């Protein structure tokens, strides 16, 4: 008998294997156990040392699938990473969906309870899954490299119905599902590295200035620098003149929001709840699994200053769903933020 399989991860112990039959094949499933120190609760991490690093991730449906920023609890911005590949995966999906649509047109009726074009659906599914693994792995690698101990995403909002051809609608839907998948994968991969994952509300993360919380103008290069064009790549804050990449601004807001949440709780002197619903707190260690080290789809770039990164792309496509982006009618106006972002309770 000859066996093939992956190598055991480092510092992991193999348990007793089980023999599993899958169709005509036999698989040997080996449980793997890895001991590590459980990361501290976010509440503790955010309130004690001021140099705790938070990696915030803004997920998109455009070319830059993920934009990650690392900042300290005090708000010092340390690095930015753009993870691309959205256009490629979207193009692939669109071609397959087009083929499915044409096949259906030729066949006419589709039998009930029967999956048509099974091989094509599977192809899309596999490619999506593969990309979700690549992106989530890259996010965790970046967080690790920057010594971040907390990873934060925003809640994925509702899928808004899109118009257009079958392939376009199907594509948007799948890109949207992929966001959820990237989150799930990143969460367990991060946990294996001792990084705790959380999520915050997506409310206005794209619309507020990460520096002063005023409403920003969002626009495309060469266009008027005012109003709010959903999905446009650039932002300008009329209050503090902050200028930069829109997704990066959103990512910074996601990180700030997490800090604000816990500092707000501290102000109210609530007893720390043992298990918060969205802290990503996990009670059991997952079996270690090393994601693919392939970085074929990613473009990474570090920005040392707080100022704008060189823009990866201004060709943002039609549908940039942030979950916060509503219609483009919102004009710049000052508003007081409902989150006391500037609290520095534990840093003095
Ligand atoms: Zn501002």
Q: 308 alpha carbon to ligand 1 midpoint, in Å?
A: 13
Q: What is the DSSP letter of 215?
A: B
Q: 212 alpha carbon to ligand 1 midpoint, in Å?
A: 4
Share of the chain above pLDDT 70, in %: 75
Q: 243 alpha carbon to ligand 1 midpoint, in Å?
A: 8
pTM for the complete prediction? 0.71
Task: Give which of 222, 51, 218, 257 is closest to 146, Cα–Cα.
Answer: 51
Which stretch, 72-76, 92-96, 144-148, 314-318, has highest mean pLDDT? 144-148
Q: 257 alpha carbon to ligand 1 midpoint, in Å?
A: 16
pLDDT in tens, 236-265: 999 999 999 999 999 999 999 999 998 877
Q: 246 alpha carbon to ligand 1 midpoint, in Å?
A: 13
Mean pLDDT of the chain, nearest integer: 78
Which ranges of the chain does DSSP label H, i.e. alpha helix?
Answer: 42-47, 86-107, 118-145, 166-192, 246-267
Asked if residue 127 lies in contact with residue 296, where contact means CB atoms within 8 angstroms, the answer is: no
Q: 207 alpha carbon to ligand 1 midpoint, in Å?
A: 11
Got the DSSP string for 133-157?
HHHHHHHHHHHHHTT--EEEEE---
pLDDT the model gives residue 109 = 66
- Which helix (DSSP H) or strand (DSSP E) does residue 239 occupy? none
pLDDT-derived band at 111 (thresholds 50, 70, 90) equals low
Task: Give which of 40, 225, 66 is closest to 156, Cα–Cα.
Answer: 66
pLDDT-derived band at 108 (thresholds 50, 70, 90) equals confident
- 137's CB contacts (< 8 A; 6+ apart) are 185, 189, 291, 292, 293
The per-residue b/e assignment along 285-297, b for 16 or more CB within 10 angstroms, e otherwise, is eeebeebeeeeeb
- 279's CB contacts (< 8 A; 6+ apart) are 41, 42, 196, 198
Got the DSSP string for 266-326?
HHTTPPPPSS-TTS---SSPPPP-PPP---TT-------SSSPPPPS-S---S----SS--
Q: 270 alpha carbon to ligand 1 midpoint, in Å?
A: 31
Q: 235 alpha carbon to ligand 1 midpoint, in Å?
A: 10
Q: 80 alpha carbon to ligand 1 midpoint, in Å?
A: 19
Asked if residue 248 lies in contact with residue 313, where contact means CB atoms within 8 angstroms, the answer is: no
Q: 33 alpha carbon to ligand 1 midpoint, in Å?
A: 47
Q: 338 alpha carbon to ligand 1 midpoint, in Å?
A: 16
Asked if residue 117 lies in contact with residue 170, where contact means CB atoms within 8 angstroms, the answer is: no
Dihedrals φ, ψ of 234, to 5°? Answer: -120, 150
Q: 50 alpha carbon to ligand 1 midpoint, in Å?
A: 23
């Amino acid at each position: 008998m000859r066996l093939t399989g992956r190598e055991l991860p480092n510092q992991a112990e193999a348990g007793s294997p089980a023999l599993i039959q899958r169709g005509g094949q036999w698989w040997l499933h080996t449980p793997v156990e890895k001991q590590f120190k459980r990361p501290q609760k976010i509440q503790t991490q955010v309130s004690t040392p001021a140099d705790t690093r938070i990696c915030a991730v803004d997920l998109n449906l455009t070319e830059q699938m993920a934009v990650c920023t690392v900042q300290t609890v005090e708000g010092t911005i340390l690095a930015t990473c753009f993870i691309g590949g959205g256009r490629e995966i979207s193009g692939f999906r669109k071609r397959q969906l087009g083929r499915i649509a044409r096949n259906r047109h030729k066949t006419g009726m589709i039998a009930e309870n029967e999956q048509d074009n099974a091989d094509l659906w599977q192809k899309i599914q596999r490619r999506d899954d593969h990309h979700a693994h690549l992106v989530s792995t890259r996010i965790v690698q970046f967080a690790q490299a920057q010594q971040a101990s907390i990873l934060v995403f925003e809640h994925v909002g509702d899928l808004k119905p899109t118009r257009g051809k079958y392939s376009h609608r199907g594509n948007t839907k799948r890109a949207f599902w992929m966001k959820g998948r990237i989150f799930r994968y990143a969460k367990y991969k991060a946990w294996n590295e001792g990084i705790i994952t959380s999520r915050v509300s997506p409310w206005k993360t794209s619309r507020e200035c990460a520096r002063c919380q005023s409403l920003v103008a969002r626009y495309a290069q060469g266009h008027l620098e005012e109003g709010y064009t959903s999905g446009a790549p650039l932002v300008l804050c009329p209050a503090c003149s902050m200028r930069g990449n829109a997704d990066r601004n959103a990512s910074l807001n996601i990180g700030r929001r997490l800090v604000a949440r816990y500092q707000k709780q501290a102000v109210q002197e609530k007893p720390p709840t043992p298990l918060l619903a969205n802290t990503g707190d996990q009670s059991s260690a997952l079996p270690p699994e090393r994601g693919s080290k392939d970085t074929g789809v990613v473009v990474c770039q570090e920005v040392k200053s707080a100022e704008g990164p060189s823009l990866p792309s201004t060709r943002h496509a039609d549908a940039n769903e942030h979950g916060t982006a509503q219609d483009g009618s919102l004009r710049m106006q000052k508003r007081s933020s409902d989150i006391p972002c500037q609290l520095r309770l534990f840093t003095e």
